[in-house]
Amino acid sequence: EPEVTQTPSHQVTQMGQEVILRCVPISNHLYFYWYRQILGQKVEFLVSFYNNEISEKSEIFDDQFSVERPDGSNFTLKIRSTKLEDSAMYFCASRGAGQGNTEAFFGQGTRLTVV
C-alpha cells in the first residue's frame, strides 16, 4: 500500500543550526503538507504546497522555515536557525487531486530535538 515516508526518524541538532527534514509523498498525490506536534499538544498546520508553490501557511511558518520540492519525489522542510521551541514531531502529509479527494495521509514523522 502506498505510504508517505519521512527521514530521518529522529534528528538532534544544536540551537542555531540548520536542519532539513525530508519526505517522499505518495507518488500520484499533488498536495503536500507539513504539520508539527509539540509533545503533549495538538497537531498544528505549518504549510501546504501545490503546483510547486506554497498555497497556504500558518503563523508558525515564519521566515526561518522554507519548503522545497527539489525533484519529482522529495518534499523538504528546512529550518534555517533552529530554536529550542522548534523541538517537536514534524509530520509530512499528502493528498490526491480533485474536489472529491479529501483524505490526507501522514508519514511516520521526524522527531526533532533542539539542544
Partner 1 sequence: TQLLEQSPQFLSIQEGENLTVYCNSSSVFSSLQWYRQEPGEGPVLLVTVVTGGEVKKLKRLTFQFGDARKDSSLHITAAQTGDTGLYLCAGQDTGRRALTFGSGTRLQVQP
- Show the cell assigned to 111: 522527531
Query: What is the smallest separation between the CB atom of 50 and partner 1, expressed in angstroms?
Result: 7
List residues binding partner 1 (CB under 8 A): 4, 6, 31, 33, 35, 41-45, 48, 50, 55-56, 58, 89, 91, 95, 102-109, 111
Angle at 60 between CA 58 and CA 66, to 5 degrees: 85
- Please enumerate in sequence order all residues whose Cβ is within 8 A of that of 81, keeping only pairs 6 or more positions apart, or say none: 16, 17, 18, 64
- The Cα–Cα gap between 12 and 83 comes to 12
Judged by beta carbon, residue 48 or residue 82, the one nearer partner 1 is 48
What does the DSSP 8-state code read for residue 16?
T
